[in-house]
Amino acid sequence: MTALLIGSVLGIAVGGLCRWLDIPSPAPPSPIGALLVVAMTAGYVIAGSFA
């Protein structure tokens, strides 16, 4: 659970800094690409709970 919280805070921080400094975001520009990242993250967290 701690890793999920740290990852979320880090992701928000990187996104905020990219926006504030006018740097292109390292995230996919389309909604489908963003959903893919969310699905991969969710799968990683769920698989980690079983291991």
Quote the pLDDT of residue 51. 65
Residue pair 18/24 in contact (Cβ under 8 Å)? The answer is yes
Say if pTM beats, i.e. exceeds, 0.75: no
In one-letter notation, the amino acid at residue 44 is Y
Q: Using CB atoms within 10 A of its CB, is residue 18 exposed (0-12), middle (13-18) or buried (19+)?
A: middle
Quote the pLDDT of residue 5. 81
- Going residue by residue through the chain, which has 51 residues, state the pLDDT in tens, using 9 for 90 and above: 687 788 778 878 887 787 788 888 766 778 887 788 888 888 887 887 886
Tell the residue number behind the tokens 């990187």, with chain if given.
Answer: 14
- Domain boundary assignment for the chain: 2-50
Quote the pLDDT of residue 14. 80
Nearest-angstrom CA–CA distance, 34 and 39: 9
